[in-house]
Amino acid sequence: MIPTTEWMSSAATRPCATNPERWFSKSAKDRNAAVRECRSCPVLQACREYALATRPAHGVWGGLTARALRPGAAPAQPKRSSKVPVDCASPTSYEQHRRRGESCESCLAKRAAQVEQGRRARLAREHAEHGGSMSGYHAHVALGEQPCLLCRAANARRLAERRAAQRARNAA
């Protein structure tokens, strides 16, 4: 029995009613966009039941492509990224977790250690090149330590310069 097709009349709320070309586009990119839009369609369920019963050979129906609707097609696979575990030893694992909204303690710790290492390297550079600087001052603070005398002096000097420049601009 062919399921009811009343859902087809809800043109006002069906995303495919406003831009049907995308649902029948030759471009896979367009069709994938259509699949995504189907997910917010209020008649998704009825449309999908209809499509699974009638197996249209073209277009996107109920969030499924014609290929997925072929008789015997494998059920839609979840996105690969949600299946394969992140390789926590890789340099990009922290970013991968972040994109997936996962929180991984070992990658977070690794990341924190990297950030700290970067700050220490910056501080060593500032000390070697300038003997102390505003940026060194901030690196000390970010590392949770008392800024050294030289960085404190450099920071105070830069702040005073900025204030003087601001006063000069205000006076002009």
Which span sits near ligand SF4 by CB under 6 A: 8-16, 93-101, 117-125, 162-170?
8-16
Shortest Å, Cβ 36 to ligand SF4: 10
Cα–Cα dist 68/63, whole Å = 10
154 binds, among Zn ion, ligand SF4, none (CB under 5 to 8 A by kind): none
Render the burial of 5-21: b for 16+ CB within 10 Å, e for the rest. Answer: eebeeeeeebbbeeeee
* Polymer length of the chain: 172
Task: Tell me: does residue 151 bind Zn ion (CB under 5 A).
Answer: yes
Give Cα 168 distance to the centre of its chain.
44
Query: In the complex with ligand SF4, which residue's Cβ is closer, 8 or 88?
Result: 8
Which span sits near Zn ion by CB under 5 A: 14-22, 23-31, 55-63, 80-88?
80-88
Shortest Å, Cβ 75 to ligand SF4: 17
Task: Tell me: does residue 148 bind Zn ion (CB under 5 A).
Answer: yes
The shares of helix, strand and coil residues in the chain, as percent rounded to the nearest 5, are: 60, 0, 35
Contact (Cβ atoms closer than 8 angstroms) between residue 96 and residue 89? no
Query: In the complex with ligand SF4, which residue's Cβ is closer, 12 or 149?
Result: 12
Question: Residue 65: left if φ>0, alpha if ψ -120 to 50, beta else—which one?
Answer: beta
Task: Tell me: does residue 68 bind ligand SF4 (CB under 6 A).
Answer: no
142 binds, among Zn ion, ligand SF4, none (CB under 5 to 8 A by kind): none
Contacts of 22 (CB under 8 A, 6+ apart): 16, 30, 31, 33, 34, 37
Binding residues vs Zn ion (CB under 5 A) = 88, 93, 104, 107, 132, 136, 148, 151
The footprint of ligand SF4 (CB under 6 A) covers: 14-16, 23, 37-38, 41, 43-44, 47, 60-63
